[in-house]
Amino acid sequence: MPVIDQRTEIAIKSIVLSTDFTPASEKAVAYARAIARRFGSSIELTHILDLSVAIPSDSSMIGISIDQMHRESTRNLNRLAHEFPGTNLHILEQEAFSLPSAILSVARNTEADLIVMGTASKHGLRKMILGSTAESVLRRATCPVLTVGPHVPPPPQDPLAFRNIVYATDFSTQAAHAAIYALSFAQDSGAHLYLCHVLGTHEPKGEKLVLQSSFERSLKEIVPPSAYDWCSPECVIEHGDTAEAILGLAERVNADLIVLGARKASFWLDYFETGVNPAVLAEARCPVLTICA
């Protein structure tokens, strides 16, 4: 059964943009600005002061004081505010011991349709660190999260349009939910949409051919016939390591967006062991939209 049986317009009315003023966050700001312009979204520009690393006052000789953190935060937030002319922008600064909880609270209170944030990668595919804040937000968010990794270039100055989208699926319920977003973004931009499933390397050759044929049929069922009128869907079967295959496909087709679905319970358990989702998020050369259910 097709995931979408008719044209579905994207509604991104409210965006929570979480920034810590790092280079990755600066690029996330640029993508949030481009998305807001494209969809007429309001933006909640949010910086959370991490009280776990703060010290009480300016009189201390070592560390960063709360007063200093507030001054730096205010200066940077005001600087970023000038980058959103004509946007319905709200600035929010909060103190918290748990940064993920504070970001998620802002998203709930504003009924956000999207969270945008930068991520960091400190290792390669096998041993990598996204950062505890990004990990927790992705695992607990009730709305899609767009992450911008350290290898992602800034968006073009032209109006935002995703031209090549890679949607990776394992045919789970969560991945099917993510397909709605992939198809909607493809519809909005008239994008070339690559629907990808990755087969492992351990199946016998005969079984692999049967599985490939079955998965190709399943991929085609995701896309409604009407979708061919407004985007260019293409089903792709990859083989090998899942993260490497997704990243390899995205690089070959010059993807400017990857869409992933993930299960809350296993995102940081089963998936963390294989490095699938964390590696894709941290190593991708384009933004990654994750829908975690």
**To 10 degrees, what angle do helices 242-252 and 276-283 make?**
30
From the list 233, 284, 269, 255, the residue with the least C-alpha distance to 118 is 284
DSSP H or E segment with residue 146? strand 145-148
Across the chain, what does the average pLDDT equal? 81
Q: To which residue do tokens 């950062």 refer?
A: 131
Task: Give the residue among 35, 189, 21 at the shortest CA–CA distance from 116.
Answer: 35
Rounded mean pLDDT of 262-270? 52
Question: Structure tokens of 135?
Answer: 């990990």
More confident residue, 145 or 125: 145
pLDDT value of position 258: 96
What is the pairing mode between strands 288-292 and 145-148? antiparallel
Give the confidence band of 231 by pLDDT, cuts at 50, 70, 90: confident
Residue 24, pLDDT score: 81
User: Strand pairing partners for 92?
Assistant: 46
**Greatest mean pLDDT among 23-27, 75-79, 168-172, 193-197:** 75-79
Query: pLDDT-based confidence at 129, cuts 50/70/90?
Result: very low
220 vs 108: which has the higher pLDDT = 108
Residues in the chain: 293
pLDDT-based confidence at residue 274 (cuts at 50, 70, 90): very low
| Beta pairing class for 64-65 and 145-148 | unpaired
| Domains within the chain, CATH numbers bracketed | 14-292 (3.40.50.12370)
Query: Which pLDDT score is estimated for 74?
Result: 94
Three-class DSSP category at 195: strand
Looking at mean pLDDT, say which of 13-17, 36-40, 165-169 comes out highest.
13-17
Instruction: Tell whether the model's pLDDT for residue 207 goes beyond 70.
Output: no
Give yes or no for residue 275 having a pLDDT over 50: no
For 145-190, how does the pLDDT look when each residue is reduced to its tens digit (9 = 90+)? 999 988 999 888 778 889 999 999 887 777 778 888 898 898 888 8
Q: Are 117 and 25 in contact (CB under 8 A)?
A: yes
Beta-strand (E) ranges in the chain? 14-18, 42-50, 54-55, 64-65, 89-96, 114-118, 145-148, 164-168, 192-199, 232-239, 257-262, 288-292
Query: Is residue 250 scored above 90 in pLDDT?
Result: yes
Question: How far separated are the first and last CA of the chain, in Å rounded?
Answer: 20
Asked whether residue 61 carries a pLDDT value surpassing 70, the answer given is no
Q: What is the pLDDT of residue 16?
A: 98
Contact 283, 149 (CB under 8 A): yes
CA atoms within 13 A on the CB side of 266: 11
Cα radius of gyration rounded to whole Å, the chain: 20
Average pLDDT, integer, range 64-87: 90
Mean pLDDT value across residues 198-204: 69
Res 148: pLDDT: 93
Residue 276 in this model has a pLDDT that exceeds 70: no
